[in-house]
Chain A
Amino acid sequence: MPLVKSGKTTNDDFVHIADEVAIPSEGAVLISAARFVSDAEALSLRAARTGVIWPNNRDLDDLVPYLDRVAVVALVFPSFRDGRAYTQARLLRERHGYRGELRATGQVLRDQFLFMLRAGFDAFEVKKPGDAEAFASTVKRYSVFYQPTGDGRLTALHRRMLLRHSESASQ
């Protein structure tokens, strides 16, 4: 499954470690939320990078205290129809100030890329190679956005106000 970061397909440094497998002392790993929570203090102090896969029906409160110590939060789209992780993403970025990698996993398809970017995702485990190749062009499809999110894009309402100010200034 190709990983897209900064608009390009890249190698995934992170290795998924199943719950029953011992966590290696070296190397970047992605582990389950349950495992992370059970030993969060120790895991978050691990020397190598640690990421956590957070299910979309699990409250973020257990994760929030460790956000500055995890390298990746991977949120899950069990189906592209299930949009709960969009809310989790925005809360992590906009409310809890998470600045690390926010990865979309599961059924991640081309037509969700822009919504995901706007919600704060910056890494994408893309299901289809063709979609990964189309990433850069797909996310440029829209030039106007109606809602303010943490991605910093100006909204249409805001752009109109700027336009008004520049018009009245030039008169």
Chain B
Amino acid sequence: MYAYDELDHAVINERVDEFRDQVKRRLSGELTEDEFKMLRLQNGVYLQLHAYMLRVAIPYGTLSSKQLRRLAHVARRYDRGYGHFTTRQNIQFNWIKLAELPDALADLAEVGIHAMQTSGNNTRNVTSDQWAGVAPGEIEDPRIWSELLRQYTTLHPEFSFLPRKFKFAITASAHDRAAIKIHDIGLRLHKNAAGETGFEVLVGGGLGRTPFIAKTIKPFVHGHDLLSYVEAILRVYNQYGRRDNIYKARIKILVHELGIDKFAQEVEDEWQQMREGALTLDDAVIEDIRSRFTYPAYEKLPHMPEELRKAAHDPHFEAWRNNSVALHKVQGYAIVTLSLKPVGGPPGDATADQMDAIADLADKYSFGEIRVGHEQNLALPHVARRDLPALWKALDKIGLATPNVNLVSDIIACPGLDYCSLANARSIPIAQELTRRFANHATADLIGRLHINISGCINACGHHHVGHIGILGVEKNGAEFYQITIGGRADENAELGTLIGPAVPYAEVADVVEDIVEAYLALRVRPDELFVDTVKRLGVEPFRERVYATR
């Protein structure tokens, strides 16, 4: 965990005071709605279909049990008893009253949580691998750098009014769990030949109306130069990014229109003029940030404790363990994913009671730490393997032991037309229906890894372009229709999915997905050829035939 010091706390408290004043000026009419809109967005407040929505940042997906309890408190006190975890390590509360927002933010500030820049045309919450610091084979903990970037991007005096939103993601593992290639800036931590830490910098990724996979702008930027290089990119973007058309304002369009080489040259020219400046991070500064991350005092434990041997006789436990438990870098410990995708439930939601219970379990079994991943699930990052059977029982009791992590019912979905004023179609009921269709664990397990992503409109909050199966809600003559893509992926081999044919009506989406999955089961050469690999090998044609032959 990163421990906020009094300086970090001061910024958060001062932001709460400022926002309280902004709300007061809006309520008194001193600020127009147009003026207030920008100010509230800069602090994570949207106006949705039914109410104001507050999006709270969980920087790089790390939460303490104390913080999670406070999120539960906000859900209970100011909302309707639940929260929604998003694809960017945020949590959203959907029913908050404007006049109560400052109090909710003040309650969160007490435990070092804020909503700064979770929306608006500025640098957003910096995201990272939810297994940071515990994943085997990781080069180093990317959260040190995430925190440096969090501080650097918070209330930046030059870049708080960019052409459009701007998102960072960082990974330090070979397997990218942070989806860095669909971010405005993606950072892959690696070491150069001299063993120094630095980053491959990718730029111009993003989904939405015009999706792009990020391109490498520089293969190695030394850690010392990370902030100056990022500033050079932001400065070029702030000056030359398009402001005439909201759909062409993201950096991906600038990179596309200039071409990556020309864009890289602009950034290089800018960087050369300021790289020796005050943004250079010397080792002492980096160490100071590193020193404020604390790690558990792990015990020396066996890989296969007696408790685990005994529990192996229970097939339900084994199904969960095989699915939701991952290898930890320390022997005797495990990373446990908590599925927020129960059969028939809205993806990513957790009730206040569940949050409190998870906080208690984190205290008991995970050194008080919880992680949030972009797949809209949670994780307990430091569970002793001997505790797995007891933890499983406790999770099962609160509905958080569904063994469907990375399986077909582990669906990523945006809130869609049930909440969102931008949506064209519903997302949540589609996800709920699909989880019912694939509720049988044996079947889901047979199908294997398969990511379904659902967005209720072209803004792509459900990342449908990079779902193995992507579902995009569109409106056709007043009715909800859905375009289906296949073959997308968000990891280190990120690709955009391919449309399989004409959009299908709401009532047929689940049938179509079932057809696609059946086609895959018939077409795969081996049980361990993943869906996305079969699509890669065969293309979309056999799937198209199967889906549209009878429609």
Measured CB to CB, the residues of A under 8 A from B are 80-84, 86-87, 90, 95, 109, 111-112, 114-116, 118-119, 130, 141-149, 155-157, 159-161, 164
CA gap between A161 and B158 in the complex, in Å: 24
Residue of A nearest to B39 (CB): A111
Contacts A115-B155, A148-B278 known; list 5 others, CB within 8 Å. A87-B158, A114-B157, A146-B154, A147-B156, A157-B151
A141 near B18 with CB under 8 A, answer: yes
Q: Is B30 an interface residue (CB 8 A)?
A: yes
Q: Is B216 an interface residue (CB 8 A)?
A: no
Q: Is B245 an interface residue (CB 8 A)?
A: no
Binary A-proximity of B152-166 (CB < 8 A = 1, otherwise 0): 101111111110000
A83 near B235 with CB under 8 A, answer: no
The segment from B9-17, B438-446, B461-469 that touches chain A is B9-17
Give the residue of B18, B35, B284, B285 whose beta carbon is less than 8 angstroms from that of A80: B35
B14 near A143 with CB under 8 A, answer: yes
Which residues of chain A are near B7, meaning CB under 8 Å?
A: 144, 156, 159-160
Q: Is B279 an interface residue (CB 8 A)?
A: yes
A141 near B157 with CB under 8 A, answer: no
B288 near A161 with CB under 8 A, answer: yes
B14 near A83 with CB under 8 A, answer: no
Q: Is B550 an interface residue (CB 8 A)?
A: no
List the 3 closest A-B pairs by CB distance, nearest first.
A83-B161, A118-B157, A148-B278
Q: Is B243 an interface residue (CB 8 A)?
A: yes
* A101 CB, nearest partner CB in chain B, Å: 19
Which residues of chain B are near A142, meaning CB under 8 Å?
A: 11, 14, 18, 155
Give the residue of A114, A119, A157 whose beta carbon is less than 8 angstroms from that of B285: A157
16 of the cross-chain contacts (CB-CB < 8 Å) are: A81-B121, A82-B161, A86-B160, A87-B235, A87-B238, A87-B239, A90-B158, A95-B273, A109-B35, A115-B160, A143-B10, A143-B14, A146-B11, A149-B157, A156-B11, A157-B289
Give the residue of B11, B162, B238 whose beta carbon is less than 8 angstroms from that of A144: B11
Supposing A146-B151, A161-B285 touch, asked if A86 and B11 sit within 8 A by C-beta, the answer is no
Residue of A nearest to B286 (CB): A157
* B251 CB, nearest partner CB in chain A, Å: 14
Q: Is B22 an interface residue (CB 8 A)?
A: yes
Which residues of chain A are near B155, meaning CB under 8 Å?
A: 115, 142, 145-146
Residue of B nearest to A127 (CB): B35
Give the residue of A90, A141, A146, A160 whose beta carbon is less than 8 angstroms from that of B14: A141
Majority SS at the chain B contact face: helix
Binary A-proximity of B260-286 (CB < 8 A = 1, otherwise 0): 000000000000011001110100110
A156 near B151 with CB under 8 A, answer: yes
Which residues of chain A are near B39, meaning CB under 8 Å?
A: 111
Which residues of chain B are near A90, meaning CB under 8 Å?
A: 158
CA gap between A144 and B8 in the complex, in Å: 8
Which residues of chain A are near B154, meaning CB under 8 Å?
A: 146
B152 near A147 with CB under 8 A, answer: yes
Which residues of chain A are near B299, meaning CB under 8 Å?
A: none
Which residues of chain A are near B159, meaning CB under 8 Å?
A: 83, 86
Give the residue of A87, A112, A144 whose beta carbon is less than 8 angstroms from that of B10: A144
Give the residue of B157, B274, B278 whose beta carbon is less than 8 angstroms from that of A119: B157
Which residues of chain A are near B281, meaning CB under 8 Å?
A: 157
* B214 CB, nearest partner CB in chain A, Å: 23
Q: Is B38 an interface residue (CB 8 A)?
A: yes
Binary A-proximity of B14-30 (CB < 8 A = 1, otherwise 0): 10011000100000001
Which residues of chain B are near A144, meaning CB under 8 Å?
A: 7-8, 10-11, 14
Supposing A95-B273, A160-B5 touch, asked if A83 and B152 sit within 8 A by C-beta, the answer is no
* B12 CB, nearest partner CB in chain A, Å: 10
* B165 CB, nearest partner CB in chain A, Å: 12
Give the residue of A95, A109, A119, A164 whose beta carbon is less than 8 angstroms from that of B288: A164
CA gap between A111 and B5 in the complex, in Å: 26
B5 near A147 with CB under 8 A, answer: no
Which residues of chain A are near B156, meaning CB under 8 Å?
A: 146-147
Which residues of chain B are near A164, meaning CB under 8 Å?
A: 288
